[in-house]
Amino acid sequence: MMWYFLMSDAFTFGAFLISYGTIRFSQNFWPNPNEVFNAFPLAGHANLPLAFVSLMTFILIMSSVTMVLAVHEGHHGNKKGVVKWLAWTIVGGLAFLACQAWEWTHLITGEHAILSGNAIDVIGQTTTVNPWGPAVHDATKVTAALQNTPHDVLVTLAHGQHHERSMAELTAMNADQLKGMINSAELHVREAGPVAFGGYFYAITGFHGFHVSSGVVINIVMLLMAQRGVFEKRGHYLMIEKAGLYWHFVDLVWVFVFLCFYLI
């Protein structure tokens, strides 16, 4: 029954990814993953393309290794070994989810300058707006848009280039003072990108994250059952192997998600 479930789940993920590919390759422009996913916790404004998602992938793969070891210990009836490696698998799953939470938060709360009509706006990546459109290389267009930009956006842009100034100090300045502080060449203004990018990214990575969360809960239940000697009384650890199949499936799906969203 576990194999039947995994096969049906594979069809679901396959449908999502095929739909994503169809929409992506029907667009004239699509965000560059090296620009979208280039941040790393505590690294400031360092440009580290795909470094963080590579760490996430490593964590998930290592959790699959610890799951293999838990199943191996179960085949040998080693209760302590099963408990130890299941615990490490749970830690790996929680670490992956924490990384995904940071990535989502960073994208949603990010401040990226886009050309909105005849003004500049600052937005993050959501399901309704996408700041990762084509770069605006016309300096005169950016300068003209800066003249029509609202005061609160000017404060945000100025703070992005002058971190030594507090937001309160910048807010107290008038629009002309703020415009004089902003170097338009360093704004990296873009046009709005295809809205479908955010919808597919959050839907598919969120659906995968839900599977990881479910796997963590399943592994916690398996850990508690192993600690209480349930499997020892049964004389086998077959349930650990079934949980392992699900966990390996989740890891395998991430490889395809990683390929489609982060590499291609």
- What confidence score (pLDDT) does residue 178 get? 87
- What confidence score (pLDDT) does residue 188 get? 85
Mean pLDDT over 87-107 rounds to 96
Whether residue 183 is predicted with pLDDT greater than 90 in this model: the reply is no
Query: Across the strands, what pairs with 210?
Result: none
At 69, the pLDDT band (50, 70, 90 cuts) reads very high
Whether residue 2 is predicted with pLDDT greater than 90 in this model: the reply is no
At 65, the pLDDT band (50, 70, 90 cuts) reads very high
Report which DSSP code applies to 25. Answer: T
- What confidence score (pLDDT) does residue 95 get? 97
Pair of tokens at residue 201: 């990214």
Segment 12-45, tens digit of pLDDT: 999 999 999 999 999 999 999 999 999 999 887 7
- What confidence score (pLDDT) does residue 252 get? 94
Q: If you count them, how many residues does the chain have?
A: 264
**Helix residue ranges per DSSP H, the chain:** 2-24, 33-36, 51-75, 79-109, 139-147, 151-161, 167-171, 175-181, 196-227, 230-234, 238-257
- What confidence score (pLDDT) does residue 137 get? 86
- Residue 83's identity, in one-letter code, is V
Segment 139-164, tens digit of pLDDT: 888 888 888 888 898 898 888 888 88
Query: Across the strands, what pairs with 120?
Result: 115
Report which DSSP code applies to 76. Answer: T
At 60, the pLDDT band (50, 70, 90 cuts) reads very high
At 138, the pLDDT band (50, 70, 90 cuts) reads confident
Whether residue 167 is predicted with pLDDT greater than 90 in this model: the reply is no
- Residue 75's identity, in one-letter code, is H
Give the end-to-end CA distance of the chain in Å, rounded to a whole number.
34
Please state, in angstroms and rounded to a whole number, the distance separating the CA atoms of residues 90 and 224: 12
- What confidence score (pLDDT) does residue 59 get? 96
- What confidence score (pLDDT) does residue 226 get? 94
Mean pLDDT over 208-220 rounds to 96
How many C-beta atoms lie closer than 10 Å to residue 28's C-beta? 6
Mean pLDDT over 51-72 rounds to 96
Tell me which residue of 140, 86, 82 sits closest to 115, measured CA to CA. Answer: 140
β-strand pairing of 112-116 with 119-123: antiparallel
Q: What structural domains and CATH numbers belong to the chain? A: 58-109+206-264 (1.20.120.80), 112-191 (no CATH)
Q: Cα torsion for 234, 235, 238, 240, to the nearest 10°?
A: 80
Whether residue 126 is predicted with pLDDT greater than 80 in this model: the reply is yes
**Average of per-residue pLDDT values in the chain:** 92
Whether residue 221 is predicted with pLDDT greater than 80 in this model: the reply is yes
| CB burial of residue 180 (10 Å; 0-12, 13-18, 19+) | exposed
- Residue 214's identity, in one-letter code, is S
**Residue 248 half-sphere exposure, CB side, CA atoms within 13 Å?**
16
At 179, the pLDDT band (50, 70, 90 cuts) reads confident
Mean pLDDT over 116-129 rounds to 90
